[in-house]
Amino acid sequence: MTANTLLYEVRDGVAWLGFNRPESRNAMTWEMYDALSGYCDRVASDDAIHAVVLHGMGGEAFVAGTDIG
Look at the pTM and tell me if it is higher than 0.95: no
19 near 5, Cβ under 8 Å?
yes
Q: Give me the tens of pLDDT residue by residue for the chain, a chain 69 residues long.
A: 556 999 999 999 999 999 999 999 999 999 999 999 999 999 999 999 999 999 999 999 999 999 998
User: Computed from CA positions of residues 23, 26, 32, 35, in that sequence, does the dihedral angle turn out positive or negative?
Assistant: positive
